[in-house]
Structure 1
Amino acid sequence: MRTQQNNIFSGIDFTLILLYLFLVIFGWMTIYAASYSEEHFQLFDFSTKYGKQMMWIVLSFILIIFILFIDAKFYEKFSSLIYLISLLTLVGLFVFGKKINGATSWYDLGITSLQPSEFAKFATVLALSKLLSDRQYDLSNIKNQIKAFVIIFLPAIFITLQPDPGSALVYAALFFVLYREGLPVYYIVIGASSIVLFILTLAFGFNLILLSTYVLISLFILYILFYRKISLKFYILKIVSLYTIIGLFIFSVDYVYNHLFEQRHRDRFNILLGKNTDIKGVGYNTNQSVLAIKSGGFSGKGYLQGDRTQGNFVPEHETDYIFSTIGEEWGFLGTSLLVIVFTLFVLRIIQLAERQKTTFSRAYGYGIAALFFFHYLINIGMVIGLFPTIGIPLPFFSYGGSGLWGFTILLFIFIKLDASKSYEL
């Protein structure tokens, strides 16, 4: 039987709230440092990026109250409608969108711009969670798997066509939700193996990787046949098919890389793989960010004392490369603290997700945990040169109202669902 909550803050997890506040405040401080100048130093100067970010943070608190005020049942009941609206906003960009940095990803609203891909994330997680919460839904069924894949890939396709492949890539993280809810593990294995084979083929060439892969597969098959005493005749067709599919995949890498990838993407992969050392061209951003982080040393140069940050040596240091500002000014201690807090933040979401009483709430919790983890892993890896530059923001740190609001909505819908876990949904 449902009881009434005393107020909108009843039952909310304050540990998660405190972690959120820490990240938002630290994020704003970093944006202030990244855009600080002696000509503009007032905290509430709304002509500056840190001033605008402060305004978006204040508005985020109003947004939080609104999210917590809405009954938790609303998010499940209207998840499909929210998802449909988000798809329409993505499609509308091709007619009404504004092109910025080569991608038509924004609506120009006059006083500000809105990036609908940031809001499509929570809408997609809601729709996926609704699908998974159906009592008749079984992820071992191929038809049900296809339904889930369609929900994930539709917004990703529209975002890729903008083109903004970096923002589209984050939707791959939602496969971990499907795995938690019963998707066969071989999908994860196939996906991870494909990525590894693709990168290895680019790095070492078709012949070496094909031969090495075939040798490893053959050894594995021999082990299965001889040590587990399995008859070859029952699996000959599957084995031949496996060799054929892998061979075709490796053979297609060169074509995909040279004909489907844009030149800027090829340049970034070439730098990552060591084929290109253009530190003054395509590799400039990553090289400068690594130098800035290294210059911070163990304890950093001090807040507002980063000469590389203040000298604008690192482009996009308020957005995609903001982690370099943390590294320069706070050093190893500051970056380690950030990684630890982000990790605790994600682990806390997973912990809360596991104690949910409904599949919808649990799946939603795992969905946002996967998205947050993917964002901070890829962004930090990109800034320190482990991954190619693909334009994924650091949650609560990268400058921008759409990103801040999108991540805030993602989180606080779950906080509302968790606060209502003891009530009938």
Structure 2
Amino acid sequence: MGSFKITGGKKLKGEIIPQGAKNEALQILCAVLLTKEPVTIHNIPDIRDVNKLIDLLESMGVKTRKLGPGSVEFTAADVDFSYFESEQYKDKAAQLRGSVMLLGPMLGRFGKGRAPKPGGDKIGRRPLDAHFVGFQKLGATFSYDSDDAFYHVDGDKMRGSYIWMEEISVTGTANVIMAAVVTPGTTTIYNAACEPYLQQLCKMLNRMGAKITGVGSNLLTIEGVHELSGCEHTMLPDMIEIGSFIGLAAMTESEITIKNCRIPELGIIPDVFKKLGIQMEFRGDDIYVPAQKHYQINRLIDGSILTVYDAPWPGFTPDLISIVLVTAIQAKGTVLIHQKMFESRLFFTDKLIDMGAQIILCDPHRATVIGINREYNLRGIRMTSPDIRAGVALLIAALSADGTSIIDNIDQIDRGYQNIDGRLNALGAEIVRI
């Protein structure tokens, strides 16, 4: 496994372009299985999880043609369904949590689906019930072989149905949508996730000939069609990268312009960072973050301590909770970070405390950050990245710290951030991959 060696204390300056959205890519790439015709996708991020999914698609018979940086044409005319029973498929799919979203397209097009228990971040329990209950309400039958950790779903008798999602699951909603668009009859999905990435999937499917209404709300209506055609689709910039760069600029007193942000799609993300006292300007579709010596956390109207918590969209995305927490370390004031959706995502705070941060881990879901307001800098240490977002939070802390830090297990960071060391070094950082 690789490591980053970071020399902290460097102030960064310049422009940076966010990558294509990782969480959108994993949905969009699975959807190419729904048609025999070519589908062209632009702004695909060059990151480990996405590249693994593309490799998996190629292994099952999907033809790919690279058209340019971040642009690939996919043709799923000759998919080998027997591959889904192979040990190679089981091994490759088990390494990638996004592989579970292959089940919806499999069910819709082939009437059956197979998937191993997927991998991904170790951030707490991430049950798949929303996926399989949704399939069952469409009429599919589901079984799980605990001996080889393999899921089997058969959907020969699927028909449109009313589905109330027990959990507002983005991947669960995406999976059910992809199965329902080519299932006969009308499907209504209530309590659906409505993240911009989910909206992007629905818009792409509609261009392919699907009939989905209610896009952007939590009530979707789908009229099943017989088949879908090809299309062209451009992915959004990654909102998690954009938020990470805002936090990075504040922590390192850097002047950074984040280009081509699709600001209307960011929801309340900029507002949450503004509550930490971070200044920013919207310049067209760019976000300019000036170098700030000090930034002060807002208090609530009654004077009580600010709480930042995650929630399903349009609430604050859980993927940025780690970034908000680390950014608050050098603020003036106190903030309670409440990670409601995952119970293991705050366990990286012990590394930040070792670096000199003033953090009280109240329980698995809550941490109080007492900002040190630049009274002293964090100190460099050796640490390990436990998951994608915590890994980048630790990278931000290391870039702001005195001395040298080493972050091990950077495969986790590479899963979600494209050439992060090279792009930040271009702004003046000193990150060496070892």
Per the TM superposition, whether the score is higher than 0.5 is no
Structure with the largest fraction of helix: 1
Asked which structure has the greater RCO (Cα within 8 Å, sep 6+), the reply is 1
TM superposition score normalised by structure 1: 0.27
TM superposition score normalised by structure 2: 0.27
Tell me which structure has the larger Cα radius of gyration. Answer: 1
